[in-house]
């Protein structure tokens, strides 16, 4: 805990210094801002990447709105006059302290360096690709990509898309800020139940959806892809996802209630160059989840309440024991049940500062007929961010995760405390 307070003090010093040397009213201009001519917070709630109602509409419109940006148009052609891109640069100091293990902090600069090319491809088509620094150096495939198409039919947007990403199984069109693509600010999804279930690990998917300002229903075919860049062959067998999201106005609060069901069996290949076996290509998929968010104002403060619940019935798969637990449900060989919930509160008391607190709980149940006890992880989450600009910020995240596991005869308990002090710039 001492290291956390020292890191917090360092964060405060840096933030105060930043206030003295930098204004806080500049508008950000990453890829979508360049295309639409709107500031980042026109689409994002409190801070990037959480989205608001306008951001949801822009996404459902396949990222095609261009504002006043010039277009190059011809028969079968309608693209922005310039290629819109964003360069993301992150650096951080990370300290991890686990019970009984010595630990020292690590400086990583850059911790993440990524080029995102995004926006309009045609009148009804948009997309983006992310090229990570390791990807660029190796000259290999993308880190994340999404292609989305939508048309307006009688007040409804009807869409079709595909993705290969770490944004989750519902990445064809996900609107929630609880997990996945929009749940990353302040490390908040660290306490998400859906995240703990592995649903926003690397996933390939293709699907269709219909929606409007009141919500979206999505049907998709999904498969887990740990490499998340196309180098793992998932074959032709996909699980099924049904996802419904209601977006409501509740007493002036922007409210989202979501439901998800993943079922069926998905294929999974081996690492590139390896020989696939029967155990690598048949994974039972099983997950049910609920997510909830309310976003609004209390006086001059901006407030977000986010929560989720997830459950997976234990199924014994035919895969290798080395495959990770994920949204196939409770692992691939042991048939364990999985239950989790998470809740967090994020408050923006004034223009440049955002604070978050959260709690996450997940439990992997005892295997019938074995001596394994339940494995329970309880996580306390504290975080803060200071925006120098809408596209340049300092972040502080502290997570304390207590794990109770072992066997009935020999239970174990460990606590892992992780402190991350980070800067993030979107150019």
239 phi and psi angles, rounded to 5 deg:
-80, 175
CA gap 373, 364 in Å, rounded: 9
CA distance 139 to 131: 10
pLDDT of 186 reads 85
The length of the chain in residues reads 427
Give me the sign of the Cα torsion angle 249, 207, 199, 309. positive
Reported as a pLDDT band with limits 50, 70 and 90, residue 330 is very low
pTM of the model: 0.84
- Using the predicted structure, report yes or no on whether residue 95 has a pLDDT greater than 80: yes
CATH assignment of the domain containing 198: 2.40.160
pLDDT at position 174 is 94
β-strands 411-426, 144-153 pairing:
unpaired
pLDDT digits (tens, 9 = 90+) for 166-209: 888 899 999 999 998 888 778 888 899 999 888 887 788 899 99
Give the pLDDT confidence score for residue 183 in this predicted structure.
87
pLDDT single digits (tens) 345-367: 999 998 899 999 999 999 887 65
More confident of the two residues 278 and 296: 296
Cβ burial of 309 (10 Å; 0-12, 13-18, 19+) is middle
> 375 or 270, which is more confident?
375
Task: Evaluate if residue 258 carries a pLDDT over 60.
Answer: yes
Give me the pLDDT at residue 28, please: 37
What's the domain count of the chain? 1
Supply the range of the domain harboring residue 245: 2-426
Compute how many other C-beta atoms are within 10 angstroms of the C-beta atom of residue 258.
Answer: 24
Tell me the two tokens of residue 130: 């992310």
Check whether 110 has a pLDDT greater than 70: yes
């Amino acid at each position: 805990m001492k290291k956390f307070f020292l890191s917090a003090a360092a964060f405060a010093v840096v933030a105060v210094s930043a206030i003295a040397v930098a204004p806080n009213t500049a508008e950000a201009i990453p890829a979508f801002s360049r295309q639409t001519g709107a500031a980042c917070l026109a689409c994002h709630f409190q801070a990037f990447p959480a989205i608001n109602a306008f951001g949801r509409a822009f996404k459902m419109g396949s990222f095609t709105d261009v504002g006043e940006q010039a277009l190059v148009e011809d028969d079968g052609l309608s693209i922005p006059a310039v290629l819109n891109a964003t360069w993301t640069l992150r650096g951080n100091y990370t300290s991890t302290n686990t019970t009984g293990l010595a630990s020292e902090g690590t400086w990583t600069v850059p911790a993440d360096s990524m080029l995102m090319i995004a926006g309009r491809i045609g009148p009804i088509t948009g997309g983006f690709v992310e090229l990570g620094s390791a990807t660029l150096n190796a000259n290999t495939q993308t880190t994340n990509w999404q292609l989305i198409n939508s048309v307006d039919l009688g007040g409804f947007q009807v869409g079709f898309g595909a993705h290969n990403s770490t944004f989750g199984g519902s990445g064809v069109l996900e609107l929630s800020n609880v997990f996945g693509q929009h749940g990353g600010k302040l490390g908040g999804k660290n306490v998400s139940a859906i995240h703990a279930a592995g649903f926003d690990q690397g996933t390939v998917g293709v699907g269709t959806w219909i929606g409007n300002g009141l919500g979206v229903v999505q049907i998709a075919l999904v498969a887990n892809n740990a490499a998340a860049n196309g180098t793992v062959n998932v074959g032709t067998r996909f699980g099924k996802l049904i996802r419904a999201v209601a977006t409501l106005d509740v007493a002036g609060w922007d409210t989202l209630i979501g439901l998800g069901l993943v079922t069926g069996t998905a294929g999974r290949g081996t690492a590139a160059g390896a020989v696939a076996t029967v155990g690598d290509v048949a994974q039972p998929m099983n997950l049910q989840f609920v997510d909830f968010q309310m976003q609004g104002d209390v006086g001059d403060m901006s407030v977000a309440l986010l929560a989720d619940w997830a459950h997976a019935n234990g199924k014994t798969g035919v895969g290798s024991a080395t495959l990770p637990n994920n949204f196939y449900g409770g692992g691939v060989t042991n048939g364990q049940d999985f239950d989790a919930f998470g809740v967090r509160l994020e408050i923006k008391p004034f223009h440049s500062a955002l604070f978050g607190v959260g709690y996450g709980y997940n439990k992997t149940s005892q295997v019938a007929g074995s001596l394994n006890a339940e494995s329970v992880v309880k996580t306390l989450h504290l975080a803060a961010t200071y925006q120098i600009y809408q596209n340049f910020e300092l972040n502080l995240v502290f997570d304390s995760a207590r794990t109770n596991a072992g066997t009935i005869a020999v239970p174990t308990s460990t606590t892992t405390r992780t402190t991350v002090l980070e800067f993030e710039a979107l150019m």
